[in-house]
A = this chain, B = another copy of it.
Amino acid sequence: MKKQQNVLIIGAGLCGSLLALRLGQRGYNVSVYEMRPDLRKTKISAGRSINLAFSDRGSKAIQLVGMGDQVEKLCIPMNGRMLHDEKGDTIMSKYSGREHEYINSIPRGELNALLLTEAEKHENVNIHFNKKCLSVDFEKTTVLFEDYQTKKEFVEDADVIIATDGAGSALRKSYYLANKFLFSFSQEYLTHGYKELSILPAENGGYKTYKNALHIWPRGNFMLIALPNLDGSFTVTLFLSYDEGDYNFNNLTTPEKVTEFFQKEFPDTLELMPNLVDDFFENPTAPLGTVKCSPWHYKGNTLLMGDSAHAIVPFYGQGMNASFEDVVEFDQVLDQNLDSWEAIFETYETNRKKDTDAIADLAIDNFYEMKGHVANPIFQDKRKIEMALEKEFPQDYSSKYSLVTFNEDIGYREAMLRGRAQDKAILNMLSDGLISSSDDLNILLKKITDATNAILEDDKIAGLI
C-alpha cells in the first residue's frame, strides 16, 4: 500500500484515537472527525462509563504504540473481586493464582486525552472536533458531516474510511439502511439496565473502602459493582432489571424506596454513599446491549472497528481491551503488505470476527456468573481449585478468566472454547464427587486436563465446534 494514502477515521474515542496514532506512526495521512468537543479543553463526559477495566490485551496495544509508561501512571491495580454479602461481610477472590496477573481500573477521559495528544504529535495526523458524522456514502467513499459550531454540513472524501464511532455507528446504520448488500446484523438487549452511582473520597482524600479490588455485591438477580478512581472515589454501577423482581428500575421511583432497597440488599453501602439518593435520581438508567454484524467492510472503501463492529456488555471488563486489540490485529494485517485495501479489510475481518463474537458471548456468560454464581458453593470450590492450580503450575494451567484476560497471545475464541470446556469438566467432576478441592494438585491437574480434552474432542466429533 502507498503510505501517502488518505485515511479518514470517524470518531476520536479510545479506539479511533489509538488507531489514528498507529496509522500516523505508519506514515498514513490521517484525518479524524469527532462529534464531541476536545475533551482536553472542555469538561465533558468522554462517554458513558467514567472508569474502565484495562488488562493484558489492551496493554499489548499500548505497548505497540510505545505508551506503556505513560498509561501505567493512570492505572490502579485490582487484584481480585471483593465480594460483599448481605450482612456486609467481605471475601477477596483473586483474579489469578499468579501474583503478576491482575487487572486495572483506568479513567476513560485521561486515557483518551493521552492518546489524542500522542497522535497529534504526528504532523500527518489531524483531528477535528465538533464534527458529527450524519451519513456515509460507502460507494463514493465520502462522509457527510455537520459542524456543530457553524451548523453547516460538508462532505469529506478519502481513500478509505474507518468508522470507530461506537455502538451507535453511523456507518453501520448506512450499511443496514442502504440495502445494497446482504448485511447480517443483531442487537440484543439484556433484561437489565445500569445506573452509575459514586462513593466519594474520604475527608482525608483517601479511599473509603479497599482500593485494589473490583468490589461486587452479587445478589442473584441483580448486583452492584465499584471500581476505584485516582482521586479516592469509586464509580459504582447498579445492574438491575427494568421490570422484574420486587425492586426494579421501573418501580424505584421515590427516595424512600431506593433507600429501602439499598438498606435491605446492600446495607454496607449506605455509609459509603450518603449521596446515594441524589446520584440515583440525577443519573440516567441505560440499557445493556450486544451488537454483532457482518460484513464489517464494504469492498476496499469502508471498515467498521471497535464498538461500531462489536459492542459488548461490560461484564468481562473487555470492551476497551477488545477494541484496542482490533488495532493490534489490523496492524498485523498491514504488515503483510497485501495489495489492496479490500484484501486488507477482508483478511482482518476473517482473522478477527470469530474472536469478537466470542468475547461478546463470554461477556454475557459473565453477567450470570457475576450476579449469581460467584456466591454459589460449587463455583467457589471450582475457583479454589483453579487458584491453586495457577499458583502451583503457572506454566500449565489457566482458568477461563485467565485465558480471556491474561493470555493476549491466544484469541478470545480459543480462550472461550478451552475455558468453557474446563469449567464444564471441573463442575461435573465436583458434582459427581470425582474430585474435591482437597485433592493432590498433580492429580487434579491431570484429571481436569484429560476431562477438558475429552469434552473438546467429543464436541468436535459431533460437529459442535
Contacts and interface: CB of A to CB of B under 8 A. Distances in A.
Interface string A175-200: 00000001111111100000000000
A250 to B, nearest CB: 12
A218 B297 CA distance: 32
Interface string A281-294: 00000010100000
Contacts of A289: 182, 184
Interface stretch (A39-47, A49-57, A271-279, A420-428): A420-428
Interface size class of A (residues with CB under 8 A): 20 to 34
Copies of this protein in the assembly total 2
Contact of A424 (B182, B183, B427, B458): B458
A428 B373 CA distance: 31
Interface string A422-465: 01100110010000000000000000000000000011011110
A148 interface: no
A368 interface: yes
B428 A461 contact: yes
11 contacts: A182-B242, A183-B187, A183-B189, A185-B186, A368-B463, A373-B463, A424-B458, A427-B461, A427-B463, A428-B462, A431-B461
Question: What secondary structure prevails in chain A residues at the interface with B?
Answer: mixed
Contacts of A287: 182
Interface in A284-310: 287, 289
Contacts of A431: 461
A185 B187 contact: yes
A378 to B, nearest CB: 8
Contacts of A189: 182-184
Given A186-B188, A427-B463, 7 more contacts: A185-B185, A420-B464, A423-B462, A424-B458, A424-B459, A424-B462, A428-B461
A180 to B, nearest CB: 13
Contacts of A459: 424
A185 B289 CA distance: 11
A464 B182 contact: no
Contact of A184 (B188, B458, B461): B188
